[in-house]
Structure 1
Amino acid sequence: MRIFQNSGISPSYRARLAGLVAGVRGFEPQKEVFLNDRYGAAHILLPMHAGSPEAFFTNGDDESLQRAWALENGLGEDASLADILLAQIEHHKTDIFYNLDPFRYDASFLRRLPGHVKRKIAWRAAPGRIDFSGYDLVVCNFQSMRRLWEEQGARTAHFFPAHDPELDAVAANRNRDIDVLFFGGYSRHHQRRRQILEAVASLSSRRRVVFHLDLSRYTPLAETPLGWFGPLRAVRRPRTIRSVSAPPVFGRAMYAELGRAKVVVNASIDMAGPDRGNMRCFETMGAGALLISDSGNYPAPMRDGETMVVYEQPQDALDRIEQQLDGGTWDEIGRAGNRAIREEYSKRRQFERFLELV
């Protein structure tokens, strides 16, 4: 079975990746640099990291990577990224096309696929209007999202991120110098998150608190006098949050920060609905830090008070953090979280589930 997995990179990660591949020539060497950095590793199937000859992985929106393949395989400089991705699928003689970027490569792209592609599967765990016609299956681990896709006419199934075994070495470190860590986006979609972060940041007078924020592009302007009034106020950080803010981190740099943290706070975005268990939860528990996250519907291995801790309101989050740090129970629950994720959501189990779906 020949599996082709297409993924993508966020605009914020591009600068880090460009630095990592600077001076690296060729498609395979650039791809290996990306895979080794572990960006989005929870979603990358086992054969892709294992280098299986029947597996092909790429980031279809990575211009440098895709142009390298095009140059090596005789495509002209005017070939679009969609044309390059299509040529890769044809060259690979793909049976199963697994796409993590259906917003970019939707039904219009699928209509161009060669006949040897027998199954087309998309992952999508965020809201948005996407044409899924042509996909045999749309998968994610959020029931509310699956219902949304089904209302749009898609067939769906439950699938899940996996524990990255590279995090086990991170989890082994228990000498941690950051008391409370957060990393994630900060934009107009994050007003509830803003309330939680503002409460948690108040701990900085007596705890080491670090927020690695991926800011809205409007935030720098919002934090000038021009941003005091009007719509920009929605992306302006309160002073308490700014005082503990640091640049965003990705890949192994993010793993390193997780290995320094006792507690990691998770705060779902406003549009997330009742479902919980985003990739941040998997990464935090996988790294052996204590996950403190907002209430909602979690998968079974994420159990309040046993493998992670749940809060209801911003002040409640504050109280839970203090309780865990004062009592030292963050360590015990953090270890339990690592065991639960490692056992229940291994790469092997993830791939076995994928094979069941195809």
Structure 2
Amino acid sequence: MRLIRISTNYPAYIQNFYGQRSALATQPYAQQYQTLMADCYSWADFWTQAFGKLGYEVWEPVGNAEPMQKMWAQENGVSYEPKTWLTDIVAAQVKQFQPDLVLVNDYATYSRSFFTHLRQICPSIRLVIGWCGAPYSGYENVFKAYDLVLSNIPSFVTDFRTQGHKCEHMHHAFNPAILKRIKQEQNTPIDFSFVGSIYRAHNFHNQREKLIKQLVAATDLRIWANMMQLSAAELKLLPLKQQVYDLVQLLKRLPLGQTVLPYLPKLKSYARMTNRPGLEQYVDPTIVARAAPAVFGLAMYQTLADSKMALNNHIDISKSYASNMRLYEATGVGTCLLTDGQDNLADIFEPDREVVTYTSAAEAIEKVNYLLDHEPERQQIAIAGQQRTLNCHTFDHRARYLDQLIKKNLA
């Protein structure tokens, strides 16, 4: 069978990736694709490798990798609209590939109408499978386009089934091939690290921010994070932006103001704002002061591999369930993982033998300090965690599981 996985990568990663490889954007599609996949960001081409062993043909184009996608369009004589190039090119790729299966792990970019269009131009499609592992408020409609929904969060599975969707639970995974692409040193230079995102919004990383703030105060936690932060210049401008916002809100309440505002283009963005500019969405300055820029792909795996211990903390919406990628990324590269003690963690790893758990900041601090002072115990946990991941949590394991779900849903 043929499977195409359509996705997008985090925009900051795409920008960083091409920024470090300025000549790549003009190279042929195949070379750009190979180079991008070799960096092992997110799922990369891991499904291609895993499903290939089961006899599938797989292609995993990245919809928002603009230079690569537009090069493919140029090489294949595909035209597209400037404003809709992303979906136009992906639709052309699906039509050319003629897949039996579509796997999509971006519910925000690809709409329900997009999948209706795909089925019209590509009758070979027998099954559309959608992945959801993050808050999806505002995007509920797209799930009606999926024949099967997959989620790593058990509560999501319950919710989707209640809404009438076919939904199955599937854990994230690790690709052992990564171990051949990173350096694994005996003397790891980083004692304790956090690599990830800190996004202050409803159902995202509010508890994570509170925890990390306490760890920053009590440990030498090193941070590589993607987060909202104000520059010194932006902080100085904030009072002025607040005054402009207040003025615009006053004008909107006045009859004359509604007439005047359309002729003041510099104020249009303020007229569209639903909240007064403030500090609510910005991460605590004590965390920002400790943080280095986010790392992605192989650089992220290398940072984890260079760490004696790595911190994991789940997104707020998965407050009771162990579900995220870091569980497998950190253990997979042989790092001793410190993770929040979720209800189902024992189904995935043996707590305090394969990973280290905490239920409070105080316990996390205590366990970090103890294990950094007791190297043999830390190493023993790191080795056991890695073995569990390699034995039970690889993309090969997940592909076999998903293959059974596919056959069941096609029967």
Residue by residue over 1:88-111, the C-alpha shift from the partner in whole angstroms, topping out at 9 and shown as x without a partner, is 111111111111112211321110
Q: What does 1:102-251 align with in structure 2 at a 5 Å threshold?
A: 102-113=107-118, 114-128=122-136, 129-131=139-141, 132-169=143-180, 170=182, 172-189=184-201, 190-204=205-219, 207=220, 209-216=221-228, 218-220=229-231, 224=235, 231-239=278-286, 241-251=287-297
Q: Using the alignment, how far apart are the partners of 1:221 and 1:149 within structure 2?
A: 44
Q: Equivalent residue of 2:61, what SS?
A: strand
Residue by residue over 1:293-321, the C-alpha shift from the partner in whole angstroms, topping out at 9 and shown as x without a partner, is 11213262322111101111111111111
Unmatched 5+ residue regions in structure 1? Answer: none
C-alpha contact (below 8 Å) 1:199/1:314 kept by paired residues? yes
Q: Using the alignment, how far apart are the partners of 2:208 and 2:280 within structure 1?
A: 15
Residue by residue over 1:130-180, the C-alpha shift from the partner in whole angstroms, topping out at 9 and shown as x without a partner, is 321121101022111112222333210122222111343558533111111
Unmatched 5+ residue regions in structure 2? Answer: 243-276, 407-411
Q: Using the alignment, how far apart are the partners of 1:67 and 1:125 within structure 2?
A: 29
Identity of aligned residues (%): 26
Alignment match, 2:329: 283
Q: Equivalent residue of 1:181, what SS?
A: strand
Q: Using the alignment, how far apart are the partners of 2:190 and 2:101 within structure 1?
A: 43
C-alpha contact (below 8 Å) 1:42/1:162 kept by paired residues? no
More displaced stretch, 91-100 vs 19-28: 19-28
Q: Equivalent residue of 1:182, what SS?
A: strand
1:354 aligns with 2:402: yes
Alignment match, 1:18: 18
Q: What does 1:59-138 align with in structure 2 at a 5 Å threshold?
A: 59-78=62-81, 80-113=85-118, 114-128=122-136, 129-131=139-141, 132-138=143-149
**Equivalent residues, number:** 353
Residue by residue over 1:11-56, the C-alpha shift from the partner in whole angstroms, topping out at 9 and shown as x without a partner, is 2212222135532212211111111000013883143796988221
Alignment match, 2:299: 253
Structure 1 residue corresponding to 2:49, chosen from 47, 50, 66:
47
Q: What does 1:317-328 align with in structure 2 at a 5 Å threshold?
A: 317-328=364-375
Q: Equivalent residue of 2:146, what SS?
A: coil
Q: Using the alignment, how far apart are the partners of 1:225 and 1:323 within structure 2?
A: 43
Q: Residues 49, 256 of structure 1: CA spacing in aligned structure 2 closer, same or farther, 3 A cutoff?
A: farther
Q: Using the alignment, how far apart are the partners of 1:352 and 1:49 within structure 2?
A: 8
Q: Equivalent residue of 1:3, what SS?
A: strand
Alignment match, 1:304: 351
AA paired with 2:295?
Answer: V
More displaced stretch, 126-135 vs 87-96: 126-135
Structure 1 residue corresponding to 2:311, chosen from 262, 265, 268:
265
Q: Using the alignment, how far apart are the partners of 1:91 and 1:313 within structure 2?
A: 52
Residue by residue over 1:268-308, the C-alpha shift from the partner in whole angstroms, topping out at 9 and shown as x without a partner, is 22232311130011101101111111121326232211110
Q: Using the alignment, how far apart are the partners of 2:4 and 2:209 within structure 1?
A: 38
C-alpha contact (below 8 Å) 1:35/1:49 kept by paired residues? no
Q: Using the alignment, how far apart are the partners of 2:232 and 2:279 within structure 1?
A: 8
Q: Equivalent residue of 2:215, what SS?
A: helix
Q: Using the alignment, how far apart are the partners of 1:3 and 1:355 within structure 2?
A: 11
**Structure 1 length normalisation: TM-score?**
0.90
Residue by residue over 1:305-340, the C-alpha shift from the partner in whole angstroms, topping out at 9 and shown as x without a partner, is 111011111111111111111122221101111100
C-alpha contact (below 8 Å) 1:8/1:61 kept by paired residues? yes
Q: Using the alignment, how far apart are the partners of 2:233 and 2:198 within structure 1?
A: 12
Residue by residue over 1:70-127, the C-alpha shift from the partner in whole angstroms, topping out at 9 and shown as x without a partner, is 1111112536321211111111111111111122113211101221101110111112
More displaced stretch, 289-298 vs 278-287: 289-298
Q: Equivalent residue of 1:350, what SS?
A: helix
Q: Residues 150, 275 of structure 1: CA spacing in aligned structure 2 closer, same or farther, 3 A cutoff?
A: same
1:338 aligns with 2:349: no
Q: Using the alignment, how far apart are the partners of 2:230 and 2:318 within structure 1?
A: 22
Instruction: Tell me how large the CA RMSD over aligned residues is.
Output: 2.6
**Structure 2 length normalisation: TM-score?**
0.79
